[in-house]
Structure 1
Amino acid sequence: MDKTRRTLLMTVAAGSAALAGAARAQAKLDEKDPQAVALGYVADATKVDAKKYPKYAAGQVCTNCALFQGKAADASGGCPLFAGKQVAGKGWCSAWAKKG
């Protein structure tokens, strides 16, 4: 393999690794984010205002929501409602839907 080709392949591999790392390093969703406020998001579901959100039931957390894009054991993961941000696995918002 010539030097130019080798350099190209190493550059592509390094770039791919950097992009993968950037995807995992998404910012955590701030409860004060306008979209989070609109959906009643809290990072700790035990702090949900049950009077304001009567749909909430104990045990509902992001990790058991149909929208959560992580694994059940993950501390945080993606959610299509909060693009580019990570929600807390133990969090909750009013869009919570039972995983089916």
Structure 2
Amino acid sequence: MTPSAHRRVFLMTLAASGAALATGAQAQALVDEKDAQAVALGYVAEARRVDARKYPKFAAGQNCTSCALYQGKAGDKAGGCPLFAGRQVAGAGWCSAWAKKA
């Protein structure tokens, strides 16, 4: 990952941490694929449905649980993501901001 990508991940994680503290222990809703932010990022709840022509950087095996931004555990069906503050993404999902975990 490039230094600017590390910086971007850090800043998004920092922002998400603040949002998580603000929402407390409330149950978080899942991101809707039709949500404006989700559409802008090409988010899909199942990575196997990614349009590889539209997102040529997508590779098999990429999903939210393998993303550096994912805040859930590897086996969780859903977890937090700083890009969708206050909501959860599907562990099997994917978006164009996917970044490999260190």
TM-score scaled by structure 2?
A: 0.76
* Structure 2 unaligned residues grouped into runs of 5+: 1-23
Distance in 2 between the 1:80 and 1:55 partners? Answer: 21
Identical amino acids, percent of aligned pairs: 76
What is residue 96 of structure 2 aligned with on the other side?
Answer: 94
* Structure 1 unaligned residues grouped into runs of 5+: 1-18
Distance in 2 between the 1:58 and 1:50 partners? Answer: 10
Q: Secondary structure at the match of 2:79?
A: strand
Please report how far the alpha carbon of residue 42 of structure 1 lies from its aligned counterpart in structure 2 after TM superposition: 0.1
Q: Secondary structure at the match of 2:99?
A: coil
Larger Rg: 1
Please report how far the alpha carbon of residue 28 of structure 1 lies from its aligned counterpart in structure 2 after TM superposition: 0.4
TM-score scaled by structure 1?
A: 0.77
What is residue 82 of structure 1 aligned with on the other side?
Answer: 84
Equivalent position amino acid for 2:55 in 1: Y
Please report how far the alpha carbon of residue 95 of structure 1 lies from its aligned counterpart in structure 2 after TM superposition: 0.2
Q: Deviations over 1:15-74 (max 9, x none)?
A: xxxx52x1xx10100000000000000000000000000010000000010000010000
List structure 1 segments (4+ residues) > 6 angstroms apart after TM superposition: none
Q: How many residues align?
A: 79
Q: Secondary structure at the match of 1:86?
A: strand
2:65 is aligned with 1:56: no
The structure showing larger relative contact order (alpha-carbon pairs under 8 Å, at least 6 residues apart) is 2
Q: Secondary structure at the match of 1:36?
A: helix
